[in-house]
Chain A
Amino acid sequence: MLRILRQIGRTGVLTEAPPATDDAALEAAGIELRRTLSSRFRGSFAIRHVDAGSCNGCELEIHALNNPYYDLERFGVHFVASPRHADGLLITGPVSRHMETALRRTWRAMPAPKIAISAGECACTGGMFGVSYASCGRADNVIPIDVRIPGCPPTPTRLLQGILAAIGDQR
């Protein structure tokens, strides 16, 4: 126990100030009138993540959001296990045809108000996989997307900017 406490003490607090979400970032993420909607989430925003065909690069960076440097939960944003508990759906990957119905069902299972965020080049544009016999391409082709966070994969900072912008947090 002592070793653990000593290591925690040595490590200290690493969490960094949140990135600024300037107008360019808002525009890039496609935010328009989200602030009215966001007032309904009342400082708590629950995300259900669905990998709809990703190479798992985006997942690694989404995981990084919970590391001590970014610590997403301090903004009241947390990942939940059930779509029934979620306010936002975070989608990665081109939507593979084999995941198409699962993605639709997850979206349908979420209570309104809800927003859909596509993260990564593939979910935003289809990326290098595009539309094929196996892929529906970008997430927009399957469910309506409110916010886009491009990048291959988007860095945790870009993800943080996009998610904070989506819920209208201007801190």
Chain B
Amino acid sequence: MTDRDWLLEYRRRLGEEGVSCSAPDPDTLAPVVRLSLAAQDWRRAAEMAAALGWRWAGIWGDPGPEDCLVRACLVHDDRRVLLETRVPWSEPVLDSHARCYPAADRMERHAQDLLGITFHDHPHGHRWTRHRAWREQDHPLAPDFPVHGHGPKRTPADTNYPFVRIQGSGVYEIPVGPVHAGIIEPGHFRFQAVGEEVLRLETRLGYVHKGIEKIAVGTEPAALARLAGRVSGDSTVVHAWAACQAMERATDHGVPARALHLRALLAERERIANHLGDIGAICNDVGFAFVHMQCARLREQWQRRNHELFGHRLLMDVVAPGGLACDLPADGIDTLRADHQVLRQDVEPIFAIVDDHPSLDDRLLGTGRLSREDARMLGCTGYVAKASGLSFDLRRDQPYPPYDRLRVTVPDLQEGDVASRVRVRMEEIHASLDLLDQLLDTLPPGEVASDLPRPAPDAQGIGLIEGWRGEIMTYVRFDQTGRIARFFPRDPSWFLWPALERLIHDNIVPDFPVCNKSVNGSYSGHDL
């Protein structure tokens, strides 16, 4: 199949169904291909893509004075298409994709709460991101909605959310959160259980909604990169990179090769730090503190090196529009090379214990199983998908520089249980260490910073970055004056939370923490 054959086939099938669509300026949002269609064909186009086995990867609206341009992204292997349609404010209704793509459920409701678009025939049309900070008739992303809002002076607790109820002899309910018993982000979980077995879990999120999409409007590119770095603090490098990549594509700006190499180096360092933390925390959640302490030790050493070489333990604000805020010091290459070798040796005895310790096997094997079919249907990416037989990774399958010149090994496991998600992380640490060495071997000389040119009015771009948690897709559009008009960072967590609800079925309540940790969705990245 040549590059556009897959698209012609899709359009031919749509044509057979009587759906006409046009491809406006195919390169404006490259590498994504735009397909514009009428609002009444919105649902048919998604059904057709679902029948072809394409993955649903996000929806967002870009509000204008008369109408809202709604876009949904669909992924076929390594290619992606952006369906777009205009929804007039006079009748802001669009058919829902959630019947054929369960992945669309919550993101459509997010768009409904923030933009005021009603999704027709949605399986659960009620609010999602909105609690009680703004009224039902208000829509924060509407251009005339003031950034300070006009809600009540004090926001009362959320009530009357229509949780699904299960009734029957012996069924009981466990409400948990938003404040959890630990150092974690807030969210509400509603378990229905019989004895120890979980019949159903419903998550209620939105507690850390801080209006990121709204406050991004009117910011300068540098400020947007800093804001993107705080969409989810554990993914600061990759979110900042995705936002910068989108801005750089919008302005058709070539970033110095050295900066791209170092961005990848930072992203792989972030992946290793988070995977180390997660492996330790998963073991800790089944009472095996030894691995937790060992991994915490390695993570701390890793973060101290971040601070020494890049000035920040979590690498915040290092990625900037046009390149990087600081260069790797001259002696940094040797330091890092030595570090990589040390970490390889250090993880070996620890991972050997994780691999075959009987008490870990007992708790992790077969726990929290997510089938390949469920992972596909829910749109999962990252370690959750890789553990369930869906080995997709942007760095290998749709590579952006510098990964287009590197060998990227991607784990491919089938069982889909907690143990597999641990194993994916362990394999990815090794793969990232190899990538880090490759990056150092091929690190080009030169500058790491460049000035982002002044964007053309309405210039827009899409950033696509493989974060440690999965695929990040960020949309940016500039206004007439070179400031940001629309920013939508789509974190992989949108698709991980529904996966958690699915994989907890038939597990026991005490296994919830370890299942949750193995999925490790970001609350902040999801609530925005």
Q: A residues engaging B (CB < 8 A)? A: 3-4, 6-8, 11, 14, 49-64, 66-69, 79, 81-83, 93-94, 96-102, 105-106, 128-136, 152-153, 155
- Contact between chains at A59 and B178 (CB < 8 Å): no
Contacts of B151 in A (CB 8 A): 97, 133
Point out the residues of chain A lying under 8 angstroms from B527, CB to CB: 96
Cβ of B365 under 8 Å from chain A: no
- Whether A51 contacts B185 in the complex (CB less than 8 A), given A63-B277, A128-B227, A152-B316, comes out as yes
Once the chains bind, are A99 and B314 in contact (CB under 8 Å)? no
Q: Which of B116-124, B202-210, B479-487 contacts A (4 or more CB under 8 A)?
A: B202-210
**Contact, CB under 8 Å: A100 / B154:** yes
Residue of B nearest to A105 (CB): B157
Segment of B165-173, B291-299, B446-454 engaged in the interface with chain A: B291-299
Q: Which of B211, B234, B294 contacts A134 (CB 8 A)?
A: B211
Contact at B208–A53, with CB atoms within 8 Å?
yes
CA distance A136 to B209 in the complex (A): 11
Contact of B234 among A4, A50, A60 (CB under 8 A): A60
Chain B residues near A96 (CB, 8 Å)? 133, 207-210, 527
Complex partner residue of B210 from A61, A105, A135, A152, CB under 8 angstroms: A135
A98 close to B208 (CB less than 8 A): yes
Q: In the complex where A55-B230, A60-B277 touch, is A99 in contact with B208 (Cβ < 8 A)?
A: yes
Q: Are the C-beta atoms of A7 and B133 separated by less than 8 Å?
A: no
A-B pairs under 8 A by CB, number: 172
Show the binding face of B for A, using Cβ within 8 Å: 131-134, 140, 145-151, 154-158, 178-179, 181-186, 206-212, 214-215, 223, 226-227, 230-234, 236, 277, 290, 293-294, 296-297, 299-300, 303, 307, 313-314, 316, 349-350, 352-353, 522-524, 527
Considering the complex, give the chain B residue whose CB is closest to the CB of A59.
B183
Cβ-neighbour of B297 out of A54, A67, A79, A81 (below 8 A):
A67
Instruction: Let me know if B232 and A102 touch, CB within 8 A.
Output: no
**Chain A contacts of B212 at CB under 8 A?**
129
* Beyond known contacts A7-B294, A101-B156, A132-B148: 8 more, CB 8 A cutoff: A4-B290, A6-B349, A94-B210, A100-B155, A102-B178, A102-B179, A128-B215, A133-B133
Interface hub of A102, A106, A134 (most chain B Cβ within 10 A): A134
Distance (whole angstroms) from the CB of B516 to the closest CB of chain A:
14
Bound CA span A53–B527, Å:
10
Q: Chain B residues near A55: list those with CB within 8 A.
A: 230-233, 236, 524
Q: Are A7 and B350 in contact (CB under 8 A)?
A: yes
Contact yes or no, B182 A81, CB < 8 A: yes
For A129, give its contact among B182, B211, B300, B523 (CB under 8 Å).
Answer: B211
Inter-chain contacts of B215 with A (CB < 8 A) = 128-130, 132
Q: Is the CB of B182 within 8 A of A97?
A: no
Residues of A within 8 A of B210 (CB): 53, 93-94, 96, 129, 132, 134-135
- Contact at A132–B147, with CB atoms within 8 Å? yes
B155 cross-chain contacts in A, Cβ below 8 A? 97-98, 100-101, 136
B179/A106 in contact, CB under 8 A: yes
- Given that A57-B234, A57-B316, A98-B158 are known contacts, is A68 also in contact with B297, CB under 8 Å in the complex? yes
Structural contact, B183 and A153, CB atoms closer than 8 A: no
CA distance A133 to B140 in the complex (A): 8
| 9 tightest A-B CB contacts, nearest first | A133-B149, A57-B233, A81-B181, A134-B211, A97-B133, A67-B296, A55-B233, A97-B155, A101-B157
Residues of chain B contacted by A98 (CB below 8 angstroms): 131-133, 155, 158, 206-209
Answer whether A63 and B183 are a contact pair too, CB < 8 Å, given A57-B314, A98-B131, A133-B145. Answer: yes
Complex interface: chain B residues within 8 A of A57 (CB): 230, 233-234, 236, 314, 316
The residues of A that contact B209 with a CB separation of less than 8 Å are: 96, 98, 134
